[in-house]
Structure 1
């Protein structure tokens, strides 16, 4: 049983050594542990720092492509290197390395495909009140959209079985965390949480520059991911709302027509008719998008079979 610990990095030469030192070198049930660094276009010699500490694999992007792309590159490399379990952690030592034992335990026991480290957001001393509220609201939203029982949706501390990794295809340009859970829920994977420990932040996040930017990007990722896997539901809802709103001015016109005062109310008929047409068009787009989604599922299944063949 091979475990590969992957660490996406962007200018992490200063913090990476401490993170590497904290990683476990032996875990019960694991025959070998290897470390994979994804250098996402760093300009501070992050790769050099990784080599000095003897990491087993380094994947380097020529330019900074973002966390989601770095994560997917790591998954692809780990699968190619024969990983049976893949653990993703951060380079800034936010997560306690020894808790990797907790993460892999449900996968080893055959109880989970994906395990997410729960930072205990509600009581975490390293989080301020606003961040706690934001994290809890976001996790509750992702929990509903993904139909998974996850309480810390944006935690990057995760263990993934080989079979699950072969099915995951991240398309977001921002972060993999929420999209991965929505995919996992849609694909009926077993996803569980385990409590883990965290260390204090040593620097501001490099994923986003401000809280509003994080909220906007995360919300866009959730909407896009949910719409990708549930297009008919999303477009039918949008179309139904438009048609419902459009029915109001039409009913208004009918009322005035029945009492003999239809003159001057033609605009209600035009507006209502336009909204109903838009609603019907939206539902038709949803049907087409659903068919396209079925084709995407076939392509994903083909990619999964190809990955199995490459094994």
Structure 2
């Protein structure tokens, strides 16, 4: 069994060595533990520090593409290198690496396909009240859409099985955390949460540049989640509300027309007509969006099947990999993504 711990990085020269020093080289249940760094177009010494601190694999973007793209590049690289289980953590040493055995345990016990580390949000001192509120709100939205019970959906400290990594697709450029949990719920994967510890804050969050920006991007992410994964509910609810308002305004016009000598209130009739038309069209969009969502699911299933088909780019089966000679720790595999 091979475990690969991946770390997406963008200009992390100041903290990466600290994070790597805490990572384990031996985890119960695994024969091999390797480290993989995704360099997302860094312009500092991130790559040099990664190599000097024993990283086995470095995958590089030629330019910065964002956290979500870095995460997906890491998954592909881990799969290509024969990972049976993948752990994702941050380069700022936010998460306590000593909790990695607890994070992978449900997967080894075949109780889960993906495990999310739940931070003690209420007791983290460097989290502002606004950020704590948004963390809880984001987690609530994810639970509502995915029908899962994950208390800390924005947590990036997570483990997943090989099959899970093969099935995940992230559409967002901002962050992968919410979307991957929703996909797991949509695909009926077993997803659980385990409590994890956090370390001292070493640098400000890259995603939280300012409270207004964080709020705006978080809200847009949540809306996008509903549009992509619950399109019928989103557009159906919106269309039903507009249609209902149109009916009420139409009834208002009829009332005044019959009992107020037919004078005035023509504005109600005009607005009712507009709302009824918009509501009806939006409900039609809900049906079309639902058909597109069903087609997307079929395409994702085809993608997963092709990735597992013999003769594809998928690595050899585990029993074949075990016959290969192990690569010395000091050799580094670099590739351009």
Which TM bucket (shorter chain)? over 0.9
Instruction: Return the alpha-carbon distance in structure 1 between the equivalents of residues 169 and 10 of structure 2.
Output: 21
Q: Secondary structure at the match of 2:116?
A: strand
Answer whether contact 1:122 1:136 (CA < 8 A) is retained: no
Q: Structure 2 matches for 1:1-311, cutoff 5 A?
A: 1-259=1-259, 261-309=261-309, 310=312, 311=314
Measure the CA separation in 2 of the matches of 1:306 and 1:50: 33
Point out the more displaced range, 50-59 or 38-47: 50-59
2:143 and 2:166 map into 1 onto residues whose CA distance is 22
Distance 2:127 2:270 in 1: 53
Q: Is this contact kept in 2: 1:234–1:286, CA < 8 A?
A: yes
Query: Secondary structure, in 3 states, of the residue corresponding to 1:42?
Result: coil
- Structure 1: tracts of 5 or more residues without a match: none
Alpha-carbon deviations, 1:258-292, whole Å to 9, x = none?
22522322221121011011001001111111111
Deviation digits for residues 35-64 of structure 1, max 9, x if unmatched?
A: 110001100021111111221111111111
In the TM superposition, what is the alpha-carbon distance from 1:165 to its structure 2 partner?
1.0
**Contact 2:145 2:230 survives alignment (8 Å):** no
Deviates most, 120-129 or 215-224: 120-129
Q: CA offset at residue 195 of structure 1?
A: 0.8
Distance 1:171 1:29 in 2: 33
Question: Conserved in 2, the CA contact under 8 Å of 1:179 and 1:222?
Answer: no
The RMSD of aligned alpha carbons is: 1.4
Q: Distance in 2 between matches of 1:191 and 1:261?
A: 64
Aligned length: 311
Counterparts in 2 of 1:158 and 1:300: CA distance versus 1, 3 Å:
same
How many Å separate the matches in 2 of 1:157 and 1:106?
A: 14
Deviates further, 86-95 or 134-143: 134-143
TM-score, normalised to structure 2, is 0.89
Unaligned stretches of 5+ in structure 2?
A: 315-337
Query: Comparing both chains, which one has the higher relative contact order based on Cα–Cα distances under 8 Å and sequence gaps of 6 or more?
Result: 2
